[in-house]
Amino acid sequence: MGRKFRMAINNILVIEDDQDILELIRYNLQKEHYQVTSACNGEEALKIIKKDPPHLILLDLMLPGIDGLEICRILKAESSLAMIPIIMVTARGEETDIVLGLELGAEDYIVKPFSPRVLIARIRTVLRRKGKTATDTSQPIRINELTIHPGKREVLLSNKPLDLTFTEFELLYHLASRPGWVFTRYQIVNAVKGDDYPVTDRSVDVQIAGLRKKLGDYGDLIETIRGIGYRFSDKEIEDKS
């Protein structure tokens, strides 16, 4: 039973039509003891996924036939396949496609040309998230001197409560409960229903600016992803107290 489980969590499908890039990815993944399956077009990939669902998909967006965004759309619309995490592999200048892919449900993206070490780190991060149990919304999130308590709807910084609006709290908790995840402004609007402030695509930036100011040094944990949106840092941080 344990052997099958390890094989399952290490099974990565690489969908890439450039043979040189495919072999580079395969080589580096196999060095890290991942099991690698590959497909060079969307049709082939969908057949593989439906027959033997992988634990993670590396998805090139520019594919012949069914492109990467359409594959993402198909998978996220099918309940039995929707939970497979997808990391998009994109060319520079495809910000619009990145935003759309994230909104379709992809977990992360990496831009060509990329460092194999960065690719492996992204994969490990996504697999680590996948392996975690569902978030217990009653449990506080603690980062050094910052505590976010969803049950009490309270944020403490160095044991002192922060005066956050409803929208600011929802926004902070939404980002902090999923460290490393990139959220577009549209996704944030959908997740944060502001009673105190009309949350719109444009107003998200205003909310983020106000939240960062109230968080002081900890505001740096909310990272701007240029042209895409925001994420809460998942890196180890120094004590900011």
Return the number of other C-beta atoms located less than 10 Å from residue 177's C-beta: 15
pTM beyond 0.85: the answer is: no
**pLDDT (0 to 100) of residue 9:** 53
**pLDDT (0 to 100) of residue 213:** 94
**pLDDT (0 to 100) of residue 92:** 67
**pLDDT (0 to 100) of residue 215:** 95
Alpha-carbon distance values, 112 to 18, 62, 72, 139 (Å): 12, 12, 19, 38
Q: Are 122 and 130 in contact (CB under 8 A)?
A: no
Q: How big, in percent rounded to 5, are the helix, strand and coil portions of the chain?
A: 45, 20, 40
For the chain, list the domains and their CATH numbers: 2-131 (3.40.50.2300), 141-232 (1.10.10.10)
Give the Cα separation of 89 and 180 in Å (integer).
Answer: 17
Q: Average pLDDT across each block of 10 residues of the chain; the chain has 241 residues. List them in order.
A: 45 95 95 94 94 94 91 89 90 79 87 90 83 59 90 89 87 89 86 62 85 94 91 66 44
Give the Cα separation of 137 and 209 in Å (integer).
Answer: 25
**What is the DSSP pairing of strand 141-143 with strand 108-111?**
unpaired
For residue 41, give the amino acid letter.
N
Name every residue whose Cβ is closer than 8 Å to that of residue 114 and which is 6 or more positions away in sequence. 89
